[in-house]
Amino acid sequence: MKQRTVIMASQVQLNFSSIKFHVPLNFKFLFPTFRNRYLFFRGRLEKYVGAQLSQGGSRPPSTVDRPPSTVDRPPSTVDRPPSTVDRPPSTVYRPPSTVCCGLNLGTGEGDYDQMIAGYCTELTGCDVNEEDLAHARALNREVTNLRYEANNALALTYADQSFDLIVSCEVIEHVGKPEQMVREMYRVMKPGGIAIMTFPSREFPVTYDPVNRIWQFTRSDGSREYAISQGAYAFGHDYLIGSVDFKKWATAAGFEIVEFQGLSRHLVGLLEVYWTGIAQSIFKKNARNVTADTGTGLTVRPASTKEPALVFITDFILWLDRMLFGWTNRSVGKGVVLRKPV
């Protein structure tokens, strides 16, 4: 019988031995592209949701019981910076918000859900992959205003105008009909609601995937979009999202485009060229991000939402990437904020 080895960021468990190592962190934060997406979501949640306090918003019910001593702390300790949102549940900072219902569309392994839940009175995380959902439930089991369920982004079962906030991270490139997903998002969003999204960009830098970049310049009409299933076209990507196409889908659905920006450029692309896609195909349980899990017997999943101590190195790389290449429209991914008109 084939043995399966399961490795989690806070617990390494080998089926053929009783040795366990506990390292309470989420290793994904050390990857610049992942970290950049996380920072984009965190910043936009604070900007568009947390800032509603100044407009008369109120704090959603806390999902974690705080010790009584925190009530009488001076203001300087209460107004902690947003970076504390990913601390363990006992010290989670819950920013004020008027948002009632949020949806993480394509929640995956639940990496962002504890942070997003802090801006919602109720958060639903949905995905098509049942095993990813089971892992997300375990990872965020102490977040009480969060629930998970299976749902299809192209045919959501929610009623019209159900959500004030929709978050979707690296999902639209997997659904087959991206324009239909955008229409579904618009349908289930309340007027005045906000959608925050990221997706891999068809306008990626040559340093990230030189083979497929050259292919795109030389391919004939009607040929497939990529030459090899690596680089920008790893991670189960059969197609990437072009900026012009996405803007057309969003405006046709009825959205206003509030922000549209590049995430991770030439330096980050060079540091992650090819090897990250190969590593995911070896270590990630659902390497192609599909409905049914596939992959090797060796599985790596995060078991914590805590940032590693060395994440400051990743943040420096991201800063340097912006300083050197912020002028170009070539980027590994795009970050988008949409609003449904009232």
Domain layout of the chain by residue ranges: 5-64+81-339
What is the DSSP pairing of strand 5-8 with strand 11-13? antiparallel
Handedness of CA 65, 108, 25, 323 (dihedral sign): negative
Please, which residues bridge with residue 339 across strands?
A: 194, 256
Backbone angles phi, psi at 63, to 5 degrees: -90, -5
Handedness of CA 288, 43, 28, 127 (dihedral sign): negative
Residue type (1 letter), 189: M
Helix ranges, 284-338 (H): 311-325
Q: How far apart are CA 179 and CA 158, in angstroms?
A: 18
Q: Kindly give the confidence (pLDDT) of every residue in the chain, 342 residues in length, as a single tens digit, with 9 standing for 90 and above.
A: 444 444 444 443 333 333 333 345 678 889 999 999 999 999 999 999 986 544 555 444 444 443 344 444 444 444 444 443 343 343 343 444 456 899 999 999 999 999 999 999 999 999 999 999 998 999 999 999 999 999 999 999 999 999 999 999 999 999 999 999 999 999 999 999 999 999 999 999 999 999 999 998 888 888 889 999 899 999 888 899 999 999 999 999 999 999 999 999 999 999 999 988 787 777 655 545 555 555 555 566 667 778 888 999 999 999 999 999 999 999 999 999 999 999
Radius of gyration of the chain (CA): 20
Nearest residue to 139 (alpha-carbon basis) of 163, 118, 108: 108
Superfamily of domain 5-64+81-339: Vaccinia Virus protein VP39 (3.40.50.150)
Strands (E), 71-210: 101-105, 122-127, 146-150, 163-169, 189-200
